Structure 1
Amino acid sequence: MARFLYSSLLYLLLPLILLRLAYRSWRAPDYRRRVAERFGFFAPPPQTGGLWVHAVSVGESIAAAPLIERFLQNHPNLPVVVTTMTPTGSERVRAMFGERVFHVYAPYDLPGSVARFLSRVQPRALVIMETEIWPNMVCQTRDRSVPVVLANARLSARSARGYARVKPLTEAVFSRFSMVAAQSQEDAERFVELGVAADSLQVTGSIKFDISLREEQRQHALEWRRDLGARPVWIAASTHEGEDDILLSAHAALRKAQPDALLILVPRHPERFDSVAALVKQKGLSLARRSRSEQVAEVAVLLGDTMGELVTLFGCADLAFIGGSLVERGGHNSLEAAAWGLPIITGPSDFNFAEISRQLQEAGALIPCSPSALPDQLVALMKDESRRARMGSAASQVVESNRGALERLCGIVDRQLG
């Protein structure tokens, strides 16, 4: 009954869903393309009966990449279907895998759309990355005797409280997971409280610790850093609306102490690139845009307005700030910065990555900072090279000591395939 009411509500809200899609397509035109896929209408893949991986957007797609690569190596005869919800996620999947996987948008969680998708793809197993839990997606897949794995699963206390408000629906869905691979013991306990069977749960750690920097990325970072010159460089990665103004003010304060300092500013969403560029100029700071290959020798801010280069841009910096944390967004993954051995600053909102932040902070690699304290903290840290070196070394050590989740997750997926 709970799922019937949920589905009925979704059908009633469909006009608003389409209006939201139209609004998003006004800001980001790619949203108006391939709309039929979102309702389960697309040409079926040439081969069915393989692995379906659902990764909502860029971050989840990147997190899923090592799992997909390993699966392609270990099961060369089985196809892989990868779904996303956003155009940026779609672009990232195609850039990473090309024709090696079949990619479409995930269907809206309407019963008919999900049924059409499943009939076309006929997966042998479904892996959902992190917290992208859709009731009809999970339940209809299980109704077809297809195992569903929630991988790299995290559940903040805040999200758990939200799920608890609709407990009849939550329990009906969470009890259907074949296996939940939780990032931490705290996550695991919250999943059990919300209906996941204890014997369907394993604490594997985060596969994001299994990040590996390719030699190509290291080489490009060295070349790009050479172009930036011998000056202090910090990066603000995956920023959201409301953060850029704070970060640019902090950078202005840094440039008073170190006039040649450079900020690499990377907004989270491509539709904000132009507005952030305008804000930089409004602040009276000189700007170069990465997408235009503009000269950076004398500028104050380099706008990282390209896709797929963030990991390499981290390698050009002396210090990293992780966005989504000065506003109530719960932060973003700081492990890419840690893998480069960078000292890390975040804002106070980190509930999406609380366990990772805790480990980095306890190791002395990460400093949580309020918006008002950010300028002073930034200036102090950029002046203290030895402290940055200690923090960076600690960050690298945290990454190295937590590797292994990928192997555990691959084992879970292989067992579900039978």
Structure 2
Amino acid sequence: MGFIYNIGIHLAHFGLKCAAPFNKKIKSGIVGRQETFSTLKNHLKTTDKTLWFHCASLGEYEQGLPVFKALREHYKSHKIVLSFFSPSGYEIRKNSPIADVVIYIPLDTKTNANHFLDLVNPELTVFVKYDIWPNFLNEVKRRKLRAILISAAFRENQSFFKFYGNQLRDALFAFEHIFTQNETSKKLLQSINHNNVTVSGDTRFDRVSSQLSIDNTLDFIEVFKQNKLCVVAGSTWPEDESLLVNFINSEASKDVKFIMAPHNIKSSQIKNIQEKLNVESVLFSEKENKQLENAQVFIIDTIGILSKIYSYADIAYVGGAMGTTGLHNTLEPAVFGVPIIIGNNHSKFPEAQEMIDGGGMFSISNQKDLGIILNELIQNNQKRLLAGKNNLKYIETNKGAVTRILAYLKL
């Protein structure tokens, strides 16, 4: 199995190199990985004490951030290496203040694993969720370096639990302890005899809760909103935007404001949304010297401020589940105590079903569903407020993962 995996890694890398000229994201990853070792050599000395944090992408980074911050504060004299697999994570967080060095994780070969660990030699390694790299982790284990996995979430159909998943399964034993999001994940790990497991919950609840302790004021949103009821649609895709634009054009009262923050902020996509709207709209990039209060739709064609914008929502719509791209972060609006609408493809997101069951989230399948739910939430103050309170209660009930992890590390 190990031989097959290693051949597969090289074949995958070859395929990515072939695709790189035609895909900007893939090209960024290829180029970035070529610079990893030189970056490490330039920033680390053999005498440095280090920690290594690894995340697949931006979502895992946000998930691990509360733990990263606590470790940063405790290990003040250590240098922290933060690695990403995905360009979307690296590009957005390459200047993260919690790390001294931010890099792409190299190709998962035995040679790279040895070279990487010779340079980094981490006192503690923290992986987030389930981005498992067998050659790296087996070398971590061979060197008897400390490593933990946090916010882990496993499903029975994953390779770890199949007869052919020996190498991936063995890599899990590099982690001296695994902190899972739920009891199901713990039982799956125990089924392969990994018993150093704690159900700590999901660190994302702690992460989003911290949003309430910062200043979320955005003056331009206040000017736009004008104390009117506001629907914030975050991380939307074309299939979401089509439904929302149709609702705004045909059903929405002029007394209701809409903020749309598309996942894709390419100018062509933004222009397409704006051209289909029959009401006045304004772009974030063009907001200066505009009468924001006169617009009914505010289109956010930038990144990094959505979590603050949700604080102005009376109702939230979170994109990704109307198609197959995957539901985006629903906990971000939930912490502000607002009801949430999503699409119907959410089976891989247990928090969505839990909020639906709790009465704070509503799943739709088509334009008619959106109209019924959205109109009801707009017109029925009591239902809207109760649904929002249910979501906030859900967040409060599930906090505490970070405390449990730090207790294990004795911090």
Q: TM-score range by the shorter chain?
A: 0.7 to 0.9
Contact 1:327 1:349 in 2 (8 A): yes
- Residues 225-264 of structure 1 correspond to what in structure 2 (within 5 A)? 225-253=222-250, 256-264=251-259
1-structure distance, mates of 2:302, 2:149: 30
1:57 equivalent in structure 2: 57
% identical equivalent positions: 21
Contact 2:315 2:339 in 1 (8 A): yes
- Segment drifting more, 230-239 vs 64-73: 230-239
1:382 aligns with 2:381: no
Shift of residue 237 of structure 1? 1.7
Q: Output one character per residue of 1:267-316: Cα deviation in whole Å (capped at 9) or x when no partner.
A: 335xx432321221342344422234354333343222222211101112
1:289 aligns with 2:283: yes
- Segment drifting more, 29-38 vs 299-308: 29-38
The alignment partner of 1:399 has SS state of helix
1:187 aligns with 2:182: no
- CA change 1:276–1:146 in 2 (3 A) is same
- Residues 261-410 of structure 1 correspond to what in structure 2 (within 5 A)? 261-269=256-264, 272-285=265-278, 286-294=280-288, 295=290, 296-354=292-350, 356-372=351-367, 373-410=369-406
Q: Output one character per residue of 1:209-235: Cα deviation in whole Å (capped at 9) or x when no partner.
A: 113125543333x76234332333212
Opposite residue 68 of structure 2, the aligned amino acid is: I
- CA change 1:281–1:241 in 2 (3 A) is closer
- CA change 1:134–1:163 in 2 (3 A) is farther
Shift of residue 82 of structure 1? 1.0
Shift of residue 16 of structure 1? 0.9
2-structure distance, mates of 1:132, 1:291: 35
Question: What TM-score, normalized to structure 2?
Answer: 0.87
Contact 1:361 1:367 in 2 (8 A): yes
The alignment partner of 2:266 has SS state of helix
Opposite residue 225 of structure 2, the aligned amino acid is: L
- CA change 1:34–1:94 in 2 (3 A) is closer
2:72 equivalent in structure 1: 72
Opposite residue 70 of structure 1, the aligned amino acid is: A
- CA change 1:167–1:280 in 2 (3 A) is same
Shift of residue 58 of structure 1? 1.8
The alignment partner of 1:150 has SS state of strand
Q: Output one character per residue of 1:93-118: Cα deviation in whole Å (capped at 9) or x when no partner.
A: 345417x5321122122333333222
Shift of residue 351 of structure 1? 3.5
2-structure distance, mates of 1:118, 1:291: 43
2-structure distance, mates of 1:343, 1:78: 42
2-structure distance, mates of 1:66, 1:184: 19
Opposite residue 287 of structure 2, the aligned amino acid is: S
- Residues 39-54 of structure 1 correspond to what in structure 2 (within 5 A)? 40-44=37-41, 45-46=43-44, 48-54=48-54
4+ residue segments displaced more than 6 Å: none
The alignment partner of 2:217 has SS state of helix
2-structure distance, mates of 1:300, 1:161: 48
Q: Output one character per residue of 1:236-285: Cα deviation in whole Å (capped at 9) or x when no partner.
A: 222345433233334434xx24134333222335xx43232122134234
- CA change 1:404–1:396 in 2 (3 A) is same
2:205 equivalent in structure 1: 209
For structure 1, list consecutive stretches of 5 or more residues without a partner in the other structure: none
1:36 equivalent in structure 2: 34
Opposite residue 125 of structure 1, the aligned amino acid is: L
Shift of residue 34 of structure 1? 3.1
1-structure distance, mates of 2:358, 2:77: 43
Contact 1:177 1:196 in 2 (8 A): no
1:23 equivalent in structure 2: 22
The alignment partner of 2:175 has SS state of coil
Contact 2:203 2:400 in 1 (8 A): yes
- CA change 1:318–1:88 in 2 (3 A) is same
For structure 2, list consecutive stretches of 5 or more residues without a partner in the other structure: none
2-structure distance, mates of 1:321, 1:166: 40
The alignment partner of 1:243 has SS state of helix
Opposite residue 403 of structure 2, the aligned amino acid is: E
